[in-house]
Amino acid sequence: MINKKMEQLGKVRSVIRELFEYGKKRKAEIGEDKVFDFSLGNPSVPAPDCVNETIKELLDTQSPLDLHGYTSAQGDAGVRKAIADYLNENHGSAFTADSIYMTVGAAASLTISLNALCNEGDEVIAFAPFFPEYRVFTEGAGATFKALPPTEDFQIDPVALSAAINKNTKAVILNSPNNPSGVVITEAGVKALTDVLKEKSAEYGKPIYLITDEPYRELVYGDVFVPFLTNYYDNTLVCYSFSKSLSIPGERIGYIAVNPKMGNAGDVYAAVCGAGRALGYVCAPSIFQRVAAACLGQTADVSVYKHNRDLIYGALCEYGYTCVKPDGAFYLFVKAMEEDASAFCEKAKAKELLLVPADSFGCPGYVRISYCVSTKQIEDSLPAFKALAEEYNK
């Protein structure tokens, strides 16, 4: 018998993918511009020039054998040093090349970190709303996934966290700026969270690790401070990805930064290398390791997302929707106008608005709108959003 769990994962698409596939079919039937697809978090702003320029330069100047060959399993040493230096300069951290492990994006950063840390019977906690794949990744690492309910402002509830931690808790996953809420956890929230982790680690006499999932780190609007977690908590693994910041999600490049300040940093880094090996990653893409290093500190034009955010948030609030104001990422989290978010999304679908019900994000009653689309799509969709609200307010 084959692995039934894997068979099930392969057969049942995520709600987001299901909707995206529906959107493609619907566009073929009635026309591209008639369907307002807000399902996927695929960047809509082109990569900054440094991406293509670096690729061209590498092709023109490097030996093909070198460029297309395997790198060290943990990533090219020069690339890892460049990332460590960049992080230290910007966040006052103390990483070295040997704290950094290159991955194929945030998803791999997470699966490797979870496999590196977890044993059978361990528990991993995340805060709702959460990226639905956390459950898949955690269970794939042999651990149990535990979700904490959302708070009213989508920040951290330290009391609930404290109550949820037990002797089996191995790690807590934090995602800020958050997919799907767009919320950035405040410094006070981070301090409250890390205070609980310190207290509970002492109580159980073992480290409870913090895994920070940060693909949206640079996607923040206005004067918003995004705390860098290793400055608050020693037992932190930073899971980063260039997918969103450089608009290169298909190229699959990211890294794990293991905080050298944690007591057993060398062992944890070795376990990260071991998990990468056991999962068969071999090494991250060679060209894109170099591209990432050359483009550190650069991003796609984030002002486009800010413009989209202002436009859709402003309009939907005006039409009577209850929206969470997103300070970062490129998602708007909206309260469904009836209890069942899926039923609400079906009514939206009838107006060609493709919205994602947030049940699988651990947040029933809400929907996610990905505003990483063209500004024109948002403008054209507004009458449909208005009509949908009017249908409920009749």
Query: Does residue 245 interact with ligand PLP by CB under 6 A?
Result: no
Range in contact with ligand PLP (rule: CB under 6 A) among 60-68, 103-111, 199-207, 279-287: 103-111
β partners of residue 369? 332
Query: Does residue 256 interact with ligand PLP by CB under 6 A?
Result: no
Q: Show contacts with ligand PLP in window 202-241 (CB under 6 A).
A: 213, 215, 241
Query: Does residue 105 interact with ligand PLP by CB under 6 A?
Result: yes
Among 131, 305, 321, 361, binds ligand PLP (CB under 6 A): 131
Range in contact with ligand PLP (rule: CB under 6 A) among 7-15, 104-112, 342-350, 365-373: 104-112
Q: What is the largest CA-CA distance in the chain?
A: 68
Distances (CA, A) of 231 to 11, 93, 95: 42, 7, 12
Range in contact with ligand PLP (rule: CB under 6 A) among 101-109, 282-290, 308-316, 371-379: 101-109
Give min distance, CB of 180 to ligand PLP, in A. Answer: 8
Q: What φ, ψ does residue 202 adopt, rounded to 5°?
A: -65, -45
Tell me if the bond preceding 129 is cis, omega within 30° of 0.
yes
Query: Does residue 305 interact with ligand PLP by CB under 6 A?
Result: no
Query: Does residue 172 interact with ligand PLP by CB under 6 A?
Result: no
Query: Does residue 99 interact with ligand PLP by CB under 6 A?
Result: no
Residue 271 CA to its chain's centroid (Å): 22
From 29, 208, 129, select the one nearest 367 (Cα to Cα): 129
Cα–Cα distance for residue pair 32/25, rounded to 1 Å: 10
Torsion sign, CA atoms 95, 101, 103, 106:
negative
Query: Does residue 175 interact with ligand PLP by CB under 6 A?
Result: yes
Give min distance, CB of 103 to ligand PLP, in A. Answer: 8
The first and second tokens of residue 70, run together, are 């395997």
In the bound state with ligand PLP, the residue whose beta carbon lies nearer, of 130 and 269, is 130
Cα–Cα distance for residue pair 70/102, rounded to 1 Å: 13
**What is the per-residue DSSP string for 340-393?**
-HHHHHHHHHTTTEE-EEGGGGT-TTEEEEE--S-HHHHHHHHHHHHHHHHHHH
Q: Are 125 and 164 in contact (CB under 8 A)?
A: yes
In the bound state with ligand PLP, the residue whose beta carbon lies nearer, of 106 and 147, is 106
Among 15, 106, 283, 372, binds ligand PLP (CB under 6 A): 106
From 315, 279, 333, 339, select the one nearest 389 (Cα to Cα): 315
Q: What φ, ψ does residue 24 adopt, rounded to 5°?
A: -65, -45
Query: Does residue 41 interact with ligand PLP by CB under 6 A?
Result: yes
Cα–Cα distance for residue pair 258/189, rounded to 1 Å: 22
Cα–Cα distance for residue pair 171/318, rounded to 1 Å: 41
The first and second tokens of residue 105, run together, are 């994006």
In the bound state with ligand PLP, the residue whose beta carbon lies nearer, of 241 and 259, is 241
Give min distance, CB of 227 to ligand PLP, in A. Answer: 17
Among 132, 254, 276, 357, binds ligand PLP (CB under 6 A): 254
Range in contact with ligand PLP (rule: CB under 6 A) among 51-59, 102-110, 258-266, 382-390: 102-110
Query: Does residue 132 interact with ligand PLP by CB under 6 A?
Result: no
Query: Does residue 370 interact with ligand PLP by CB under 6 A?
Result: no
Query: Does residue 43 interact with ligand PLP by CB under 6 A?
Result: no
The first and second tokens of residue 14, run together, are 């995520």
Give min distance, CB of 281 to ligand PLP, in A. Answer: 12
Query: Does residue 249 interact with ligand PLP by CB under 6 A?
Result: yes
From 13, 131, 38, 21, select the one nearest 334 (Cα to Cα): 38
Query: Does residue 371 interact with ligand PLP by CB under 6 A?
Result: no
Among 82, 84, 97, 107, binds ligand PLP (CB under 6 A): 107
Residues 6+ away with beta carbon under 8 Å from 40: 16, 20, 370
In the bound state with ligand PLP, the residue whose beta carbon lies nearer, of 40 and 353, is 40
Q: Are 385 and 316 in contact (CB under 8 A)?
A: yes
Range in contact with ligand PLP (rule: CB under 6 A) among 99-107, 265-273, 276-284, 302-310: 99-107
Among 71, 93, 155, 179, binds ligand PLP (CB under 6 A): 179
Q: Are 194 and 55 in contact (CB under 8 A)?
A: no
Interaction site with ligand PLP (CB under 6 A) = 41, 105-107, 131, 175, 179, 213, 215, 241, 243, 249, 254
